[in-house]
A = this chain, B = another copy of it.
Amino acid sequence: MAFTVTILGNSSAKPTPSAHPSAQVVNLNEQYYLVDAGEGVQQQLIRRGINPLRLRAVFVSHLHGDHCYGLFPLISTLGLLGRRTPLDIYAPAPMGELLEHHLRYFDSDLPYEVKWHEVRTTEHQIIMENNTLEVWSIPLRHRVPTAGFHFREKEPGLNVDKWKIERYGLGIAQIVAAKRGEDVTLEDGTILPNAELTYRPYKARSYAYLSDTAYSPRAAERVKGADLIYHEATYALSEEMWARGRGHSTTAEAAKAAVKAEAGRLIIGHFSSRYKNHEALVEECRTIFPNTYLATEGEKFVIEEKR
């Protein structure tokens, strides 16, 4: 089952000639989710070969323009393209008012429903759930109410080892019981522990999006074990005062968060426009968390299956 993260934009608020503001697409098992929607995201989707009609939902971390200006043109375009299925938008208040206003002035006749789900940015909780996936809000520390998002693949059900089925001649009822997690009793009274009969076909994976935020050890704790973490690193190590003043993180702080979260890999972005050499920023992270990479625009990060 594919689990990928495609970077559509990684710049911060000040526009540059070539970079685009924050936006990513998470794909889990062909379910496409947009995470943040900086200006121009609709064109970025098309450029990266992602059909905007496939988006199931949009998650917006906070209501700064560089994270959501692109949502409103996208809503219009989905209407133009004839979308029929509802679009769920998970975002902090007052996104509901922004959407209402937008629909009133620009899209009073959409062929599909736009549904806002309020994200309470001080709560660590499930905000979206289906058979495959849970999405949790992760309270962050920024200048306005902000939540990160933790995309957690659901743990798969137990499979019964077919060799054991043969070896012990297990019947349907016993197989069903084992799949439920129970021990199985054979005819002769032997009790087979569940762990001997069953296995999970894969280990659940997860991806955490942590932006925008000052360093938050609690947020890092809450995404512990994430296979991949995106963490903003707006400033270089030397600019800690800037980061503190603006509710952002330095490279070192992003790396510290990844260490604390015992992450698999860290990808960084949302760089201030003052930096031309992003590789240098990655190097600063690597002295603390070696498995750090650039969230390069256009790149697709694959979270491999774990068995």
Contact = CB atoms under 8 A, between A and B. Distances in A.
Interface of A: 13-17, 20, 39-40, 42-43, 46-47, 63-66, 69-70, 72-73, 76-77, 80-81, 94, 97-98, 101, 105-106
B70 A42 contact: no
A298 to B, nearest CB: 12
Nearest to A46: B17
A151 to B, nearest CB: 26
A47 B101 CA distance: 31
A65 B105 CA distance: 10
Given A69-B73, A72-B69, A73-B65, A17 B43 contact: yes
Contacts of A101: 101
Contacts of A80: 13-14
In the complex, which of the residues A20, A43, A105 has the most CB atoms of chain B within 10 Å of its own CB atom?
A: A43
A20 B39 CA distance: 12
Contact of A77 (B15, B64, B73): B15
Given A94-B105, A101-B101, A42 B65 contact: no
14 contacts: A14-B77, A14-B80, A17-B43, A17-B46, A39-B39, A39-B42, A39-B43, A39-B70, A40-B40, A63-B106, A66-B73, A69-B69, A69-B73, A94-B105
